[in-house]
Amino acid sequence: MTALFALATSLLWGLADFGGGLLTRRIPALTVVVVSQSIAVVVLGTVVIATGAWTEWGPQLWFAVAAGLVGPVAMLAFYKALALGPMGVVSPLGSLGVAVPVGVGLMLGERPGLAQFAGIAVAFAGIVLAGGPELRGAPVQRRAVLLTLLAAFGFGGVMALIAEASSGLTGLFLALFVQRVTNVAAGGAALYVSVRRGGGALPEGSGTAGGGMGVVRAALPALAFVGLADVAANGTYSVAAQHGPVTVAAVLASVYPV
């Protein structure tokens, strides 16, 4: 069960990262983060109300709040890196943050068996080597590498935090909702500061009905897909981590570059 949910996580994160990377070539990265996560908030809010998940409120949700603060920083850094460097390099480097939840699992006393340890080593090597061909190609900007590493350890932090934010399915819905509300609040604040400093919240909309806002409206289905795929990935990862070793779940959830 752990392997199945972790591999589903890998697929969902891969799709979300690919879609988000494409969107940031047309729409400012902060806007992609805020709009995609706002759509996720609406959907998750409906689920929380329908399932009565609000009754699961408790101190463990502070882990979800922390994940919600770290997440936008990681997403923004990752999307900016994708705008600067090739996905074949950025995506594998972005998976190196798996070291964070693996390290947490080991510190909490998890001890993978020999076969599990060998599998972890092979998967981790595959993640790193996935970027090898493109690393040997055109030079990659140093800023893209630094942003990717920041994103990697941010994503790793989110993985470690969200796994501790709930203990059951309904509690998971509430934890994901709290995480996304925090995402939107933090991302919205950053977007406001960016605009106040002269940055743009909307893309150039020349030739598009409605200008920059028209570009965003036209991209709403893709933004919704990115936001909901990311939510689903966090959910399936949390289930995987709760039903098996975090060290195994984290590595399998990070193999999407392979």
Number of Cβ within a 10 Å radius of residue 125: 11
What pLDDT does residue 127 have?
60
DSSP line for 92-128: HHHGGGGHHHHHHHHHTT----HHHHHHHHHHHHHHH
At 8 the pLDDT is: 92
Taking a C-beta distance cutoff of 8 angstroms, is the pair 68, 183 a contact? yes
* Rounded Cα–Cα distance for residues 53 and 72 (Å): 24
Q: Are 91 and 131 in contact (CB under 8 A)?
A: yes
Contacts with 237 (C-beta within 8 Å, 6 or more apart), sequence order = 5, 6, 9, 159, 162, 163, 249, 250, 253
Domain range summary for the chain, segments of one domain joined by +: 2-252
Can you give the pTM of this predicted structure? 0.82
Residue 144 to residue 124: CA distance in whole angstroms: 21
Rounded-to-integer distance, Cα 18 and Cα 11, Å: 11
pLDDT tens for each residue of the chain, 258 residues long: 788 998 899 899 889 988 988 898 888 888 998 999 999 999 999 999 999 988 888 899 999 999 999 988 988 888 888 778 777 777 777 777 777 777 777 776 776 666 666 666 766 666 666 555 445 555 667 888 889 889 888 988 888 898 888 878 888 999 999 999 999 999 999 999 988 888 777 776 545 556 778 888 889 999 999 999 999 998 999 888 888 888 788 878 877 655
d(CA 241, CA 8): 13
Cα 48–chain centre separation: 21
pLDDT of residue 180: 95
